[in-house]
Structure 1
Amino acid sequence: MKHIAIISGKGGTGKTIIAASFAALGRNVCLVDCDVDAADLHLLLKPEVQESHEFKSGHTAVIDKNLCTQCGECTAVCRFNAISEVFTVDPISCEGCGVCSHVCPAEAIAMRENVSGEWFVSQTKYGPFVHARLGIAEENSGKLVTKIKQVAAEHAERQKCTCVIVDGPPGIGCPVIASLTGVDVAVIVTEPTLSGIHDMERVAGVARHFSIPTKVVINKCDINQENSDAIATLCEKENIEVVARIPFSKNVVESMVNGVPVVEFCHDDVTQELIALWKKLNP
């Protein structure tokens, strides 16, 4: 079973459009949306949620007023000023370090696990789909990505899927690293802009650091031919294959408005490039 991660150094390059197209082109595939901070693959796949689970991560101090003697030991050691003069905890300021609970002589402080988000197991017409939603300003996105990737792999194994398609988050942070863990190939989707080139180099460096085979797709390649050629030159120097050059098309925008993968919406040059790309990745 092959694991393909579709990533990008920056947002808006078109990786989710490509992931949705792969879902439509594949046969018996499992999908996982690892952009847990701003997931949007579901907008094109129209999943039916079958399971919903809480994601718990991190802790917040809670003071039991019945046990608290107001000795002040906790306020003295709290470097985040999360405990007020009347001995209540501000959950926004509390970092969950647990020092206050260790020093409390009355054992009045408990560290309560936070509910930081939700994750879902859904079914689409293309196959099983695992996705998640991290709460606003919550942390541990990498941990949530690891969780849903594990669940997706389990479902893919049970349903004998031929491929797991990972729609990764943008950037180079923890959720990206978690998305790349254990995949067979990383497909970097970039665009011919200065920021696209810069961020492609950064995320390619992350993949190289973890020894993950990498390919590059230049999306909207015809909006700036000079920059597209610069991307190709950079990839040649780094021994990274450019596996597709996808032209700009208004059909892509219209397919998103209609909530349909572009390969099902029309049969233009973009669709032909995506079909050829899928065949290259799955010979």
Structure 2
Amino acid sequence: MKEITILSGKGGTGKTSITAALASLATNAVFCDNDVDAADLHLILKPDIKETHPFDSGSLAFINPEECTNCGTCQEACRFEAIFTNEAGFPEVNPYQCEGCRLCERLCPVGAIQINQNLNNQWFVSNTRFGTMVHAKMGPGEENSGRLVTQIREKAKEMARENKAQFVINDGPPGIGCTAISSITGTNAVLLVIEPTISGLHDAKRLVELVNSFQVPLYAIINKHDINSEFTATVERYLGDTNIPLVGKIPFSELFVESMLHEKSLVEYVPDHPISLNLKTIWEKISTNQI
């Protein structure tokens, strides 16, 4: 079994569109959406959820208004300014600022504060037309997204072993944050999607540095290469100088958007189009180690 994680240094490079296209070409694979903070692979793969599991993303304080004496101790002590005075004149916790540190619970002289586990987030095991998919849903500002990525990756690999799947294909998050780190560790290869812009190359360089620190094999695709031919050449020189194999270049096309509106990958939507044929060649290189 080979695990391939598709990443980008920034959002908007077309990473998920390319992941969906490769998913439609892969046979005997399990898919995992590692972009748990802003998951969107499901929009194309249309998963049929078979299992739903809660995810404990952290703790939140709750102040019982019936027991609170309004002494102000908790509000004064909270370094995150997560406790405010509500319209009734009593302290209340802002769930988006509370870090669940339990200090307020320990300091409350009457025991009016309790810490509750936050189980608002979920992860799923689903069937898709291409195979099994593991994915998740997190609310805005929720914690421990990196731990959630690790958890769903482990589940995807477990299911791949059970099903004797040849590949696990991860749609990773953009950037170099915790979810990206959790997507890189232990994977067999990273496929980097770069757009030929100054910001695209700048952010790709940061991601390359991160991937190299984990000593994971790295390959690249230049997407929308024809929007700036001169800068595409700059990206190619960078890849050559850093010994990163370039497995393919994909031109800009409104067909990507059109296919998504029809809830299909581009390869499904226009299978004989030159871009689809190009993507088939890219997948053949990756899947057969011709790189």
TM score, norm. by length of structure 1: 0.93
Q: Which amino acid aligns with 2:13?
A: T
Identify the match of residue 94 of structure 2 among 87, 90, 101: 90
Check if 1:268 corresponds to 2:273: yes
Cα pair distance change 1:95/1:165, threshold 3 Å:
same
Contact 1:6 1:186 in 2 (8 A): yes
Identity of aligned residues (%): 46
Contact 1:185 1:214 in 2 (8 A): yes
Name the residue aligned to 1:213.
217
Cα pair distance change 1:271/1:90, threshold 3 Å:
closer
**Could you say what secondary structure the match of 1:200 adopts?**
helix
Cα deviation per residue 1:7-32 (whole Å; 9 max; x = unaligned)? Answer: 00111211111111121111110001
Contact 1:120 1:130 in 2 (8 A): yes
Alpha-carbon RMSD: 1.8
Name the residue aligned to 1:242.
246
Within 5 Å, give how 1:130-149 maps onto structure 2. 130-149=134-153
Name the residue aligned to 2:44.
44
Cα deviation per residue 1:131-159 (whole Å; 9 max; x = unaligned)? Answer: 11110222222122122112211211211
The structural deviation recorded for 1:66 is 5.7
Cα pair distance change 1:87/1:258, threshold 3 Å:
closer
Name the residue aligned to 2:230.
226
Contact 1:116 1:139 in 2 (8 A): no
Name the residue aligned to 2:129.
125
Name the residue aligned to 2:32.
32
**Could you say what secondary structure the match of 1:239 adopts?**
coil
Gaps of 5+ in 1: none
Contact 1:60 1:91 in 2 (8 A): yes
Within 5 Å, give how 1:108-123 maps onto structure 2. 108-123=112-127
**Could you say what secondary structure the match of 2:57 adopts?**
strand
The structural deviation recorded for 1:75 is 3.6
Cα pair distance change 1:91/1:260, threshold 3 Å:
closer
Aligned pairs, how many? Answer: 283
Q: Which amino acid aligns with 2:192?
A: I
Name the residue aligned to 2:167.
163
Contact 2:34 2:135 in 1 (8 A): yes
**In structure 1, C-alpha distance between the alignment counterparts of 2:118 and 2:58, rounded to whole Å:** 6
TM score, norm. by length of structure 2: 0.90
Cα deviation per residue 1:88-111 (whole Å; 9 max; x = unaligned)? Answer: 433344221111222334444221
**In structure 1, C-alpha distance between the alignment counterparts of 2:65 and 2:253, rounded to whole Å:** 63
The structural deviation recorded for 1:174 is 0.8
Range with greater deviation from structure 2 (158-167 or 107-116) = 107-116
**Could you say what secondary structure the match of 1:227 adopts?**
helix
Contact 1:247 1:269 in 2 (8 A): no
Within 5 Å, give how 1:189-204 maps onto structure 2. 189-204=193-208
The structural deviation recorded for 1:72 is 4.7
**Could you say what secondary structure the match of 2:157 adopts?**
helix
